[in-house]
Structure 1
Amino acid sequence: MYKLIIRPIFFLFDPEKIHYFTFSLVKFMSKIPFVSSIFKSLYVVNNKKLERNLFGLTFKNPVGLAAGFDKNAVLYNELADFGFGFIEIGTVTPKGQIGNPKQRLFRLKEDKGIINRMGFNNEGLQAAIEQLKKNKGKVIIGGNIGKNTATKPEDYTEDYTTCFNALHPYVDYFVLNVSCPNVSSHAKLEDADYLKELITEVQKINKTKEIHKPILLKIAPDLNDNQLDEIIDLVAETKIAGVIASNTSVDRKGLKTSDERLTEIGNGGLSGQPIKDKSTRVIQYLSEQSNKAFPIIGVGGIHSAEDAVEKINAGADLVQIYTGFIYEGPSLISKINKAILKNYN
């Protein structure tokens, strides 16, 4: 029904506008008696064999929603009814910001991809906290944190630590988003020396807390082997909980979408099926070269159960979807969970 009726209608409209319309629709429908129960009966796969224990957390199943979908933590309670094992909110920055000028979100229908240059648009830290106070405890929540666009390079770390301190009581794990191509000073955020400084500072704060929250690093799919080796060394040295591989890509090779259309769209991060193999390669490299030394959350181009299984075979412990959720609909979650039960238990 989703791909036959709902998606064709949604795809007639501007991607960003339909995103917020969908939020309002799901919010409204979830308030109707029994609708939440219907969603759960359709999409939730309850089986103890799906549980995964990683970095001190027990995930009901290994399929999560990637950051960027529920930026302001307004829909995670309702989205939990679609069967996710965990939901990552954000990217959250200390102050609210409008992000880059519109239009900034583009579908590549031929490629089953999306290009975005949103620019960390969000309502800010305090707005996210107010929403997270409404947590009904249905699902594990990750907090994806970043820096404000206007922040000076010498104050980047302060932005991350501000978010970390304030969100600490409200999320189950943290993700340092240092690999989004749509923010300023992207190069500094991926410099190994700076990353070590940033992670060390956040870890220092974490150790002062009564409960230590897992911290993960989200990396780009465009890193070369030398850069990936640096990431492996960095994880070993700083003892962070793991890595999310991967963020969006700036590479445009091999797309079916015409060069003219790509030029018209301009810059931005590419997600969806075109980056599937890239992200899988990064997962496999990290897993093999580190001798499975740390957990990996695999994300990028998962549009089918087979895509998810491929990520797990490459070394991912958990997987996340985003663009695949938009193209394939909520049934993708249950399909992945059923495939995992079939293949790994």
Structure 2
Amino acid sequence: MYDLLFRHVLRRIPAEPIHGVAFGAIRGVAGSRLTGPRVRTLLTATDPVLRTRVFGVDFPNPLGLAAGFDKDAKGPVALGNLGFGFVELGTITARPQPGNPKPRLFRLPDDKALVNRMGFNNSGADAVAARLTALPREGRPVIGINIGKSKAASPDRAVDDYRHSARVLGPHADYVVVNVSSPNTPGLRDLQQVSVLSPLLEAVREELVAAVLGRTVPLLVKITTDLADDEVEAVADMAVDLGLDGVVATNTTISREGLRTPKAEVDALGAGGVSGLPLAEVAHAVVGRLRNRLGAERTIISVGGIFTGEDAYHRIRAGASLVQAYTGFIYGGATWPRRVNRDLAALLRRDGQQSVATAVGTAPTP
């Protein structure tokens, strides 16, 4: 039903406005105190084989909603009620900012992909922290918080900018991700250089330790698929050296290679990062490379091209402890998380796995 609606109606409406309408509908139904619990009962996977514990946090299932969908913490409970095992909010910056001029979000239906140049549009760390403070504990999903650099922050002020976000948002997070990999904030990807990234991550961790008493907030870094193999390995080595909890891989790509959509049509959309199915192969390869370098102690959250339970299972067997999706959810609709989790559970049981954790990294090394 949703596939027919998408093909014949939704794809004809500009992507960003329909996102606002759809998210409003999700909040109105799945986030309602009246209907939300019923939605949760219908759509949440309860198979115990899906439960997993990662960096000291219990997840009801390993499928999360990637950063980008809920940038302002407007509906994490509603999204959790749809069946996501965790919701990553953001990217959130220290200062509020409108993002890039519209239009800035586009669909490539023939590729099951999106192109975006949103530019970290969000209401800022302080506003998001206030919204999370008011969030009821009951029904609250596992929440990751993804932080990025404010566009107005100069390179020499980037560390202070991230520090502020970590300080005000850390107390509300089950884990924190430092995003240095979006192609839509000028100069951001330069922070992926290990010589720059290492002191930045140390500063964020120091801020989290000071801001959050009584528990340790896991800290991860998000990288792009556009890094060369040796750069991926350098980030992995740095994560080990700094004692980070893991890596989120990968963000969108600026590459336009291998798309089915005609080149002229893609070029007309302008700059931006591509997400969705075109990232699947390279994102899978990055997971394997990271796992070989990180060892079993650190977490990989794999994102990019996850559309089915089989996709999720392959990433887990390659070495991911958790998986995330954004574009797959856009193309799949509200019941998509339930379908993915159902199929993932069936694959785990087919192969005699006792849990998600026992399947992590079981694929033969290439």
What TM-score comes out, normalization by structure 2 length?
Answer: 0.90
Matches for 1:134-173 after TM superposition, within 5 Å: 134-137=134-137, 138-173=140-175
- Counterpart for residue 194 of structure 1: 196
The code of the aligned residue for 2:166 comes to F
* 2:281 is the alignment partner of 1:277: yes
Q: Distance in 1 between matches of 2:259 and 2:227?
A: 19
Matches for 1:215-230 after TM superposition, within 5 Å: 215-230=219-234
* Residues 19-72 of structure 1 deviation map (CA, whole Å, 9 limit, x = unaligned): 111122222334667532442233111133322111111111111000000000
Q: Distance in 2 between matches of 1:203 and 1:129?
A: 18
Q: Distance in 1 between matches of 2:67 and 2:124?
A: 15
- Counterpart for residue 357 of structure 2: none
Q: State the Cα RMSD in Å.
A: 1.6
Q: Distance in 1 between matches of 2:31 and 2:90?
A: 24
- Counterpart for residue 306 of structure 1: 310
CA displacement at 1:186 relative to structure 2: 2.8
Q: Distance in 1 between matches of 2:32 and 2:297?
A: 46
* Residues 123-148 of structure 1 deviation map (CA, whole Å, 9 limit, x = unaligned): 11122112212323321111100111
Q: Distance in 2 between matches of 1:47 and 1:65?
A: 19
CA displacement at 1:231 relative to structure 2: 1.1
Q: Distance in 2 between matches of 1:167 and 1:7?
A: 39
Moved more, 69-78 or 292-301: 292-301
- Counterpart for residue 110 of structure 1: 110
> Helix, strand or coil for the counterpart of 1:73?
coil
Give ranges in structure 2 of 5+ residues lacking alignment. Answer: 355-366
Q: Distance in 2 between matches of 1:283 and 1:239?
A: 19
- Counterpart for residue 78 of structure 2: 78
- Counterpart for residue 28 of structure 1: 28
Distance 1:235 1:7, change over 3 A: same
Answer yes or no: is the 8 Å Cα contact 1:220–1:248 preserved in 2.
yes
Matches for 1:310-325 after TM superposition, within 5 Å: 310-325=314-329
The code of the aligned residue for 1:11 comes to R
How many residues align structurally? 345
- Counterpart for residue 127 of structure 1: 127
Matches for 1:258-273 after TM superposition, within 5 Å: 258-273=262-277
Answer yes or no: is the 8 Å Cα contact 2:93–2:150 preserved in 1.
yes
What TM-score comes out, normalization by structure 1 length?
Answer: 0.96
* Residues 262-290 of structure 1 deviation map (CA, whole Å, 9 limit, x = unaligned): 11011110000011111111001111233
Matches for 1:31-46 after TM superposition, within 5 Å: 34-46=34-46
Answer yes or no: is the 8 Å Cα contact 2:116–2:272 preserved in 1.
yes
Instruction: Give 1:174's match in structure 2, choosing from 170, 173, 176.
Output: 176
Answer yes or no: is the 8 Å Cα contact 1:305–1:332 preserved in 2.
no
The code of the aligned residue for 2:175 comes to Y
Q: Distance in 1 between matches of 2:221 and 2:96?
A: 22
Structure 1 segments of 4+ aligned residues over 6 angstroms from their partners: none
* 2:340 is the alignment partner of 1:336: yes
> Helix, strand or coil for the counterpart of 2:204?
helix
Q: Distance in 2 between matches of 1:218 and 1:337?
A: 24
Give ranges in structure 1 of 5+ residues lacking alignment. Answer: none
